[in-house]
Amino acid sequence: MKVTDAEADALSRIRRRRRVARRSLWFLPAVPLVFFLLDVAFDSPEPKLIGGAIVAALFLAPSMIHAMSACPRCHNLFYYTAFWGNPFGTRCRHCGLELPRTT
């Protein structure tokens, strides 16, 4: 099935979100280290809360934005159905629209 220009643009955006989400995984091993350092450095819990907000911004937000990507063809979530999902799949879970390898 032919992909329109608008769909190609949206697929390019999904691919970019996917790339950012993958890169955000690099922050995951730093989470225990950050909390340990904040725990050692400060007695109050506020720095840990701030550290948690920073971790959320660096790791969770890109992952959530990626996971909530909508398919440009069927307008459902690209990676998830009601019961199953794969955030690094290459096809829409609903209509089968495929992410191109390079955009």
Judged by the rule CB under 5 A, the positions of this chain that interact with Zn ion are 71, 73-74, 92, 94-95, 97
Least distance (Å) from Zn ion to the CB of residue 66?
16
In the bound state with Zn ion, the residue whose beta carbon lies nearer, of 15 and 94, is 94
Query: In the structure encoding, which two tokens stand for residue 79, read together?
Result: 């990676």
In the bound state with Zn ion, the residue whose beta carbon lies nearer, of 24 and 69, is 69
In the bound state with Zn ion, the residue whose beta carbon lies nearer, of 3 and 34, is 3
Closest CA to 13 of 78, 58, 74: 78
Residue 66 sits at the vertex; the CA angle it makes with 62 and 69, to the nearest 5 degrees, is 145
